[in-house]
Amino acid sequence: MPQEEEYALCLCKMKKVLVISIVFLFGCLHSGLNAQGNYKLNKMGAEALREKNYEEAVHQYHKLYRRDSSNLKVCFAYAEAARLNMETETALYLYQKVLNQRGKKYPMGVYWMGQLYKQQMNYKEAGKWFAKFYRLKLKKDLPEYKQK
């Protein structure tokens, strides 16, 4: 009788290990597929931007943003696409989100905030952002300054 109890206990432990292993494997597989999907969406968004297909770029970056709204590179790329597609409110929201978290890494976001407020004819707010940008004293040879 004790051998049957040990066998049942061992079988129970094996089932637990098997279930945990399957869950872990599924999680790894899912995250790997998701990462591939994210890479593809990012690539498609960047390609659409290069081709000046801003509506498509917004579409791709929006899908990517819904998957990971904490990724600031995605937020900035989405903001750029939204700005170029004349989606001012979306662009303002995303630039502000990026600048609140890592503004020094994205100095052109400050400039674009000023431009977007200027487009909305909110000159007072635009002036504040342009003044912030001026105080950054960026080098004029930065690639962000050059026309694309």
pLDDT at 14: 65
The pLDDT of residue 92 is above 90: yes
Q: What is the mean pLDDT of residues 71-85?
A: 95
**Nearest residue to 74 (alpha-carbon basis) of 58, 52, 50, 56:** 58
Structure tokens at 125: 């707010």
Question: Quick one: the chain helix, strand, coil %, rounded to 5?
Answer: 85, 0, 15
Residue that is written with structure tokens 């599924």 in the block: 26
The pLDDT of residue 47 is above 70: yes
Query: pTM for the complete prediction?
Result: 0.70
DSSP state of 125: H
Percent of the chain with pLDDT over 70: 69
Q: What is the mean pLDDT of residues 94-120?
A: 94
